[in-house]
Amino acid sequence: MKHALLITVSSAEIKAIRQTRYIKFQQCTMPYLAGLFPQDWQITHIDEETEPVDYHGSYDLAGLTFHTPCCYHAYEIADKFRSQGVTVIMGGPHVTLVPDEAAAHADSIFIGEAENTLPQFLRDFAQGQIRKRYADDGTVDLACAPLLQKQHFHRADHTAGTMFATRGCPNSCEFCTIRCMYNNQFRKRPLADVAQDFSALQGKVVVFWDDNISADLEYAKEMFRQITPYKKWWTSQAGIQAGEDEQFLQLAYDSGCRHLFIGFESISQMSLNAANKSFNQVERYREIIRKIHAHGISIQAGIVFGFDCDTPSVFAETLDFLRKNGIDQATFNMLTPYPGTPLFTRLKAEGRILTEDWSKYNSRTDVVFQPKHMTPQQLIDGFNDVNQKFYRLSHIVQRIARSRTNWYWTLPLNVIYSMLLTWRRWKRC
C-alpha cells in the first residue's frame, strides 16, 4: 500500500488573518482530490489551519495546494520533503498562475484543474516515469469529478462542511483569478452528484464553495429544488443577478439559503466599469438588497478598495451606503493584483507594482501597488478604519435592530467578528 500525504497549506501570516473569522471555511480541494486515488493508496490529509505538518511519517508522495500568500511556506514544506526523498507534487491557484516559480520546488506541478491530470500522474508514478508538468487544457468534465471524501475534513468551523456545484465564472473581471484558473470556462456538476454530497454532510450548515452560484440561474433553481428535502441551511457566493430574480431567491430560501456573499466590489460605477465589471450597476444595488432581504436572506457584501477611480472619500461613502442599506455583514479587501491576472499585467506595465513579495498579496495587511488617487498608507488606513467602524458594537446593534433577516445567523457572526477584530488589534499593540 502506498501512502500519500495531502496538505492544505496555510502560512503563519494567513492563520493570523483568519483569526478574525468565526467560520473558518474548510477548503474542499483535498477532500475531493482524495477521491481520485486508487484503492491501493492510503491517504492522509493535513489542513494546516488545524494541525502542523508531520514530517516523520512514511510517505511515498506529498501533495500541496496553496494560494499566493502561502507560497513561500509551501516551498519550505516541499523542500523539506524532497530532502527526505519524498516525491512532491504541487497544484492550486498559485502554481497555475506562476508555474515556473513553483516548478523549482516540486517533482511535478499541476497547472489548472487536476481531475484529468492527477490520474495520469498516478499511472506515471506507478511506472516510475513522472513528468515535470501536468497541464490541464481546461476541459474537465465535472460529470467525472469524484464525490466529496468528507472524512478528510478536519476543521471545527461551525459548519457541516464545504462542497461545490459549479466551477468557474462566465465573467472576466480584471482583478479576478478565477478566469485565469479555469480558462474562462464555467461548468456545472450533475445535480444528482450535488444532492449526494449535500445530503452526506452531517450537520445543519453547508457552504457551497462556488465562485458564483448564480452564474446559471436556471441550473441553480433546479439544484435548489433537489436539495430542498434535506432541510439544511446553506450559504455561497453569488453575483448581483441573484437579486434580480424573484424565483431564484424564493427557491434559494426554500432550499435553506440563509446568507449570500454578494460581490458588490464598489459603489463607484466608474471603478466597476474600469474593472470590466460594468454588469454590476450601482443604481440597482438598493433595490437588489431590498429584494434579497425581503426573501429572508442576509447579505455579506464583498467590497474592494483601491480601484483607480477611488479617492480617499471612498471609505466614508461606502460605509454610509452599507449602513443606509442595512447590509448585514461585509468583507473588506484592498485591491490586490494577483500574478497572472490582467490587473497585474496592466499595473506592471504602468510601473505601479510596489513589491513582488507574494506573502504580502493577502488583501488585508499590505498594499502591493501604487494606488492612483491616494497613497498606499491612505489606502491601508482607510481600509482599517472602515473595518473598525463597520464592526463597532454600537453599529452592530443598530444593524441587527433594523434587520429583517435571520438575526440568529447575522448576530453571532457580527458580534464574534467584532470581538476577534478587537482582540487582534489589542494583540498588535
- Considering beta carbons, is residue 171 or 414 the nearer one to ligand SF4? 171
Closer CB to ligand SF4, 278 or 311, in the complex: 278
Query: Please, are residues 111 and 95 in contact by the beta-carbon 8 Å criterion?
Result: yes
Bridge pairing between strands 187-188 and 166-167 = antiparallel
Question: How many residues form the binding site for ligand SF4 (CB under 6 A)?
Answer: 12
Residue with smaller CB distance to ligand SF4, 78 or 343: 343
**Separation of alpha carbons 108 and 131, rounded Å:** 6
C-alpha cell at 160: 457541516
CB of 171 to ligand SF4, least distance (A): 4
CB nearer to ligand SF4: pick between 181 and 194: 181
Name residue 21's amino acid.
Answer: R
Q: Which is nearer to ligand SF4, 302 or 376 (CB)?
A: 302
The DSSP secondary-structure symbol of 197 reads H
Residue 363 beta carbon to ligand SF4: minimum distance, rounded to whole angstroms: 13
Taking alpha carbons only, the member of 126, 200, 209, 199 closest to residue 167 is 209
User: DSSP string covering 256-303, please?
Assistant: TEEEEEEEEE-S-HHHHHHTT-TTS-HHHHHHHHHHHHHTT-EEEEEE
212 binds ligand SF4 (CB under 6 A): yes
Grid cell for residue 54: 508531520
Tell the smallest beta-carbon distance from residue 208 to ligand SF4 (Å).
13
Residues 2-41 vs ligand SF4: string with x where CB under 6 A? ----------------------------------------
CB of 245 to ligand SF4, least distance (A): 16
* CA neighbor of 256 nearest in space, from 288, 297, 213: 297
Helix (H) or strand (E) holding 43: strand 41-47
- Please tell me the distance from the alpha carbon of residue 113 to that of residue 167, in angstroms, as a whole number: 10
How far is 22 from 201, CA to CA, in rounded Å?
Answer: 20
Closer by beta carbon to ligand SF4, 263 or else 371: 263
Shortest approach of ligand SF4 to residue 99 CB, angstroms?
A: 21
Figure out which of the listed residues 157, 211, 310, 366 binds ligand SF4, where binding follows CB under 6 A: 211
Hey, which residues between 270 and 329 contact ligand SF4 (CB under 6 A)?
277
Contact between 260 and ligand SF4 by CB under 6 A: the answer reads no
CB of 300: closest distance to ligand SF4 in angstroms? 14
Select 239 or 382, whichever has its Cβ closest to ligand SF4.
239
Binding mask 157-196 for ligand SF4 (x = CB under 6 A): ------------x-xxx--x-xx-----------------
Determine contact, residues 87/61, Cβ cutoff 8 Å.
yes
Residue 272: HSE in the Cβ half-sphere, 13 Å Cα cutoff: 18
> What's the min distance (Å) between Cβ of 179 and ligand SF4?
5
Phi, psi of 198 (to 5 degrees): -60, -45
CB-CB neighbours of 293 under 10 Å: 20
- Which residue, 226 or 333, is less far from ligand SF4 as judged by CB? 333
Q: Is 245 exposed, middle or buried (0-12, 13-18, 19+ CB in 10 A)?
A: middle
User: What minimum distance in Å lies between the beta carbon of 333 and ligand SF4?
Assistant: 11
Choice between 88 and 334, CB closer to ligand SF4: 334
For residue 185, the minimal CB distance to ligand SF4 (Å) is: 12
Residue 263 sits in the site that holds ligand SF4 (CB under 6 A)? yes
Q: Please give the residue ranges that form the binding site for ligand SF4 (CB under 6 A).
A: 169, 171-173, 176, 178-179, 211-212, 239, 263, 277
